């Protein structure tokens, strides 16, 4: 049988004779298929677009309760391999990965750590308005030594603490912005602001450290009760009172506490503090940080009825690591980060669709950017440099200061490490080339005057936010060391240039090195070789 007479053969011949028609049908079919695919995708996009990115209290609360039936895990903030993500995603709901599975917590609280650096009341009022616009529902006010303590604990108030009228004005502003106020006082660890004084030093768990209270002393609870009473007297009837209890580094070390189990010491003290709160304000719920509970067995927590006494919160860092630490961040510099985090928490996601509400809240009306490139502009100096949010002057100042810091670091590195005429060794032995010293100091006048100008600019931008004590502290930590370094370089260079004749080598061995066995050295013939000309 020939190929043409077979069925496949006849089909092949037909296609060859009518190939134009076949190609046309194929093309039409492909177009129809693409249109169908486009409509399916468009429907999905339209359906996704119906999900509102803005949630009011009712919708966010209902979604948060609905999500409680599933475990929630936030995405790690680093890149991972696809297979790793696939393994982790099984039986887990990741926040923000799907617009159809958004999680918006009903309570979105902003923590203000006020210890040792109180923002002015006028500035806090501006920030309260901003965070409310971005979706915050409340503020956590950590007062520490900035509260106007009175009576037997008046010593706890710093010299620049808020007055009672200041506190009332802050609370009124929070209420005007419909922000729930949660006061925070430390009642176990981080008690340096009280235990540093001789009056309360006998309450320390460890005599050498003012970090933690001894939970076995009755007077410890007397101090805590005074604080709770005074806080609640001004704040009134609050739903929550945060009593700290995080990072209790010294526990179970004094003679009274040593025989007891650490977990029992901690939970017993927390129970006593919680009961004090309930005694003074029966409808107030005590909150504590969660870090000290993470490794306590569930059975032990149940024995102390922790679930009925307190509610835990995840702990995080503050603008001071503790009472004795220097400032690690300032509020006006953190406003863009605070805005992004508050907005993302309030909407359940963060992407380009939130650029407009973010820029609107930060008052970026003058040449607003089209996006917020967090990865390529991590400090957002370029993106938000023209915005007018509260404290924007200091935020922009930090970009210039960062650049000056790098310039001075490079300048001092050249002098200390890379160039050989103005090092510590040259200065110690007063031995260098005046011509080379002049070359090294060419950039000094410009950098010095820039530093002085930067100091004045810091004062101008910070005085609307903080009192002079806080402004001076930040300058002393950040700008003044640069000026001192430049002053010393100038002085060392001037001294080196005064010398016109120099001693012969080698120089005397540094006295501090003698204890390492180098000895004083000598110039005897055994140690020096004189090169004589060849005869």
The answer to whether residues 482 and 452 touch, using CB atoms and an 8 Å cutoff, is: no
Q: Do 429 and 287 fall within a single domain?
A: no
Distances (CA, A) of 204 to 139, 195, 207, 331, 460: 30, 7, 6, 32, 41
pLDDT at 204 > cutoff 60: yes
Query: How do residues 85-99 score in pLDDT, each as one tens digit?
Result: 344 434 444 445 556
Mean pLDDT of 461-476: 97
CA distance 95 to 120: 36
Confidence (pLDDT) at 55: 40
Q: Do 283 and 421 fall within a single domain?
A: no
The verdict on residue 370 lying in a domain is: no
Q: Do 266 and 413 fall within a single domain?
A: no
Pick from 261, 296, 313: which residue ends a domain?
313
Query: How do residues 211-263 score in pLDDT, each as one tens digit?
Result: 999 999 999 999 999 999 999 999 999 999 999 998 898 899 999 999 999 99
**Beta-strand pair 209-213/204-206:** antiparallel
Which pLDDT band, with edges at 50, 70 and 90, does 83 fall under? very low
The verdict on residue 345 lying in a domain is: no
What is the value of pTM for the model shown?
A: 0.76
The verdict on residue 528 lying in a domain is: no
pLDDT at 205 > cutoff 90: yes
Confidence (pLDDT) at 82: 39
Q: Do 421 and 289 fall within a single domain?
A: no
CA distance 66 to 517: 74
Query: How do residues 105-127 score in pLDDT, each as one tens digit?
Result: 999 999 999 998 899 999 999 99
Vertex 123 angle, CA 122 and 127, to 5°: 120
Vertex 480 angle, CA 478 and 481, to 5°: 75
- Report the percent of the chain where pLDDT is more than 90: 62
How many domains are contained in the chain? Answer: 2
CA distance 269 to 263: 10
Query: How do residues 395-410 score in pLDDT, each as one tens digit?
Result: 999 999 999 999 999 9
DSSP state for residue 199 in the 8-state scheme: G
Q: Do 140 and 266 fall within a single domain?
A: yes
Mean pLDDT of 443-448: 97
The CATH code of the domain that includes 254 is: 3.20.20.80
Query: How do residues 413-432 score in pLDDT, each as one tens digit?
Result: 999 888 889 999 999 999 99
The verdict on residue 78 lying in a domain is: no
The verdict on residue 339 lying in a domain is: no
pLDDT at 460 > cutoff 70: yes
Q: Which is more confidently placed, 312 or 532?
A: 312
Confidence (pLDDT) at 64: 37
Query: How do residues 12-46 score in pLDDT, each as one tens digit?
Result: 555 555 555 555 556 656 655 555 555 544 444 44
| Structural domain of 237 | 109-313
Mean pLDDT of 470-491: 97
CB atoms within 10 A of CB 403: 12
Q: Do 273 and 396 fall within a single domain?
A: no
Distances (CA, A) of 71 to 61, 64, 67, 315: 17, 12, 8, 20
Q: Do 117 and 243 fall within a single domain?
A: yes
Q: Do 156 and 299 fall within a single domain?
A: yes
- Tell me the two tokens of residue 209: 């450290």
Confidence (pLDDT) at 112: 95
Kindly write down the DSSP assignment for every residue of 426-489, as one continuous string: HHHHT---HHHHHHHTTTHHHHHHHHHHHHHHHHHHHTTTB-HHHHHHHHHHHTHHHHHHHHHH
Q: Which residues are catalytic?
A: 247
The verdict on residue 166 lying in a domain is: yes
Confidence (pLDDT) at 314: 83
Confidence (pLDDT) at 68: 39
Mean pLDDT of 481-510: 94
Top mean pLDDT of 42-46, 65-69, 473-477 is at 473-477
3-state helix, strand, coil in the chain (%, to 5): 55, 5, 40
The verdict on residue 186 lying in a domain is: yes
Pick from 246, 279, 313: which residue ends a domain?
313
Q: Do 408 and 497 fall within a single domain?
A: yes
Q: Do 287 and 435 fall within a single domain?
A: no
Pick from 291, 313, 335: which residue ends a domain?
313
Mean pLDDT of 281-306: 93
Q: Do 125 and 270 fall within a single domain?
A: yes
Q: Do 246 and 125 fall within a single domain?
A: yes
The verdict on residue 128 lying in a domain is: yes
């Amino acid at each position: 049988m020939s190929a043409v007479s077979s069925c496949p053969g006849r089909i092949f011949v037909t296609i060859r004779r009518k190939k134009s028609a076949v190609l046309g049908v194929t093309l039409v079919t492909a177009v129809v298929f693409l249109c169908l695919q486009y409509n399916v995708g468009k429907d999905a996009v339209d359906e996704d677009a119906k999900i509102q990115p803005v949630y009011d209290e009712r919708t966010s609360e209902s979604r948060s309760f609905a999500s409680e039936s599933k475990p929630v895990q936030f995405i790690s903030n680093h890149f991972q391999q696809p297979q790793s993500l696939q393994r982790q995603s099984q039986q887990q709901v990741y926040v923000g990965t799907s617009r159809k599975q958004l999680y918006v917590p009903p309570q979105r609280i902003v923590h203000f750590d006020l210890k040792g650096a109180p923002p002015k009341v006028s500035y806090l009022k501006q920030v309260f308005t901003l965070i409310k616009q971005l979706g915050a529902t409340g503020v956590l006010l950590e007062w520490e030594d900035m509260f106007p303590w009175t009576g037997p604990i008046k010593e706890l108030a710093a010299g620049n603490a808020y007055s009672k009228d200041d506190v009332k004005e802050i609370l009124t502003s929070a209420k005007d912005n419909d922000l729930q106020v949660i006061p925070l006082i430390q009642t176990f660890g981080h008690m340096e602001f009280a235990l540093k004084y001789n009056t309360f030093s006998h309450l320390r768990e460890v005599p050498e450290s003012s970090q933690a209270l001894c939970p076995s002393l009755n007077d410890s609870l007397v101090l805590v009760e005074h604080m709770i009473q005074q806080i609640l007297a001004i704040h009134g009837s609050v739903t929550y009172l945060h009593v700290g209890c995080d990072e209790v580094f010294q526990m179970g070390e004094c003679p009274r506490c040593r025989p007891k189990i650490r977990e029992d010491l901690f939970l017993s003290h927390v129970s006593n503090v919680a009961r004090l709160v309930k005694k003074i304000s029966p409808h107030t719920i005590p909150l504590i940080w969660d870090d000290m509970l993470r490794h306590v067995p569930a059975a032990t927590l149940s024995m102390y009825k922790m679930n009925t006494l307190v509610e835990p919160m995840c702990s995080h860092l503050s603008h001071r690591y503790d009472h004795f630490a220097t400032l690690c961040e300032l509020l006006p510099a953190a406003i863009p980060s605070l805005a992004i985090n508050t907005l993302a928490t309030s909407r359940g996601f963060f992407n380009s669709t939130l650029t407009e509400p973010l820029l609107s809240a930060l008052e970026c009306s003058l040449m607003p950017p089209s996006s917020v490139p967090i990865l390529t502009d991590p400090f957002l100096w370029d993106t938000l440099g023209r915005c007018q949010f509260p404290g924007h002057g200091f935020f922009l100042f930090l970009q210039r200061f960062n650049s000056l810091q790098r310039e001075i670091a490079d300048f001092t590195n050249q002098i200390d490490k890379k160039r050989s005429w103005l090092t510590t060794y040259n200065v110690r032995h007063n031995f260098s080339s005046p011509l080379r010293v002049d070359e090294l100091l060419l950039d000094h006048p410009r950098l010095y005057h820039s530093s002085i100008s930067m100091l004045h600019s810091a004062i101008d931008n910070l005085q609307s936010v903080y009192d002079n004590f806080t402004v001076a502290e930040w300058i002393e930590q950040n700008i003044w060391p640069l000026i001192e370094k430049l002053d010393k370089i100038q002085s060392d260079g001037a001294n080196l240039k005064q010398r016109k004749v120099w001693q012969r080598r080698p120089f005397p061995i540094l006295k501090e090195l003698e204890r390492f066995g180098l000895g004083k050295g000598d110039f005897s013939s055994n140690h020096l070789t004189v090169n004589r000309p060849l005869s």
